[in-house]
Chain A
């Protein structure tokens, strides 16, 4: 295999991180998880996760994520152990939520590799291009997986159009266009949960409700940009706006 060793190691870690995250979420939720394909190796199978399995998967995924993004920072392990005890958890809110951010980064790296299939069949040459400016079309500051890439992974989850479709249509995008727009994989509770004060669509429709002035709403690009920036800021996910701001014009 012609892949650079370090890149191979990193892509493997990214895959483990994502599967760990999904496993953890499914396990803690008491759900059964099956994935459409195994990313870490040909022919392997993902077991159903119990609560215990979820915890094990969480540890594995966290460690993989740590190795991916901080390969020489060996304090990560102690932070992980500390995170399982509310008395020693180094973050200020919730270890699972913080972990989700790291897993999202890992998901982004997988998306950059254009999926496990290409990786396994040898066509997945290293394309870790974060931070590289390309010429030609505008390159967004933040690169996210697209809706098309996430929709096959969404067992138990929902793929959220970061630029919601009803707003994208106002900007002239078709449903097909928006399959290739940035998206994020979240639970239904985080997406629209009626008892979740931080649900994404609650935050968005606070600023950009579907109906205004007794009519279906029509927003300008400036209103869409401002509304989404505030909404994602309100729920502590400003990077989501960064991933789609280049599409709002």
Chain B
């Protein structure tokens, strides 16, 4: 498996490797390059993303990932659900106010299944991260808001 840009990750990629890291060195294309984590000693301080499962209100389940972060805050976890058709749902949108209309038809179907409960895989002796997502989050000035 080779490097990927984070926005190229698919369900199959996560099935092959549940943990990816950002090399952030000369070997990487840029800051968005991720690489499967094969040896945990190589990236003790690197940012990693870990596979996570998401369960909707109706019991439907999805695969995705989140950035491992001890704070558990959505702006640092940046959870993402990956869909079978290759599209994805980004639950953290930074300074940009999101709109469900911008997402693919399959992604928009998730709107009726909010809220989502999520839990990450246990990796590298780091604790699992779990929580609840009420909608698409973004920074509204200095406050965090969401579109449900």
Contact = CB atoms under 8 A, between A and B. Distances in A.
Interface of A: 151, 158, 161, 164-166, 169, 175, 187-189, 191-197, 199, 201-202, 205-217, 219, 223, 226-227
Interface string B4-23: 01110000000000000010
Interface residues of B, number: 40
A211 B47 CA distance: 16
B92 A209 contact: yes
A164 B22 CA distance: 14
A197 B6 CA distance: 21
Shortest 6 CB-CB distances between A and B: which pairs? A165-B30, A213-B102, A192-B47, A214-B103, A188-B45, A216-B7
Contacts of B45: 187-189, 191-196
B7 A211 contact: yes
Interface in B26-73: 26, 30-32, 45-48, 67-71
Given A192-B46, A194-B126, A219-B96, 6 more contacts: A188-B46, A197-B70, A206-B94, A206-B139, A216-B5, A217-B96
Contacts of A227: 94-95
A151 B24 CA distance: 12
Nearest to A196: B45
15 contacts: A165-B30, A165-B31, A175-B30, A188-B24, A188-B45, A193-B46, A194-B45, A194-B126, A195-B70, A201-B24, A205-B94, A208-B94, A209-B90, A209-B92, A217-B96
Given A213-B93, A227-B95, A205 B78 contact: yes
A212 B7 contact: no
A88 B7 CA distance: 50
B46 A211 contact: no
Chain A, interface SS category: mixed
B47 A194 contact: yes
Contacts of B71: 197
A205 B30 CA distance: 14
A212 B94 contact: yes
A154 to B, nearest CB: 8
Contacts of B95: 207-208, 223, 226-227
Nearest to A189: B45
A227 B78 CA distance: 16
B30 A211 contact: no
B68 A212 contact: no
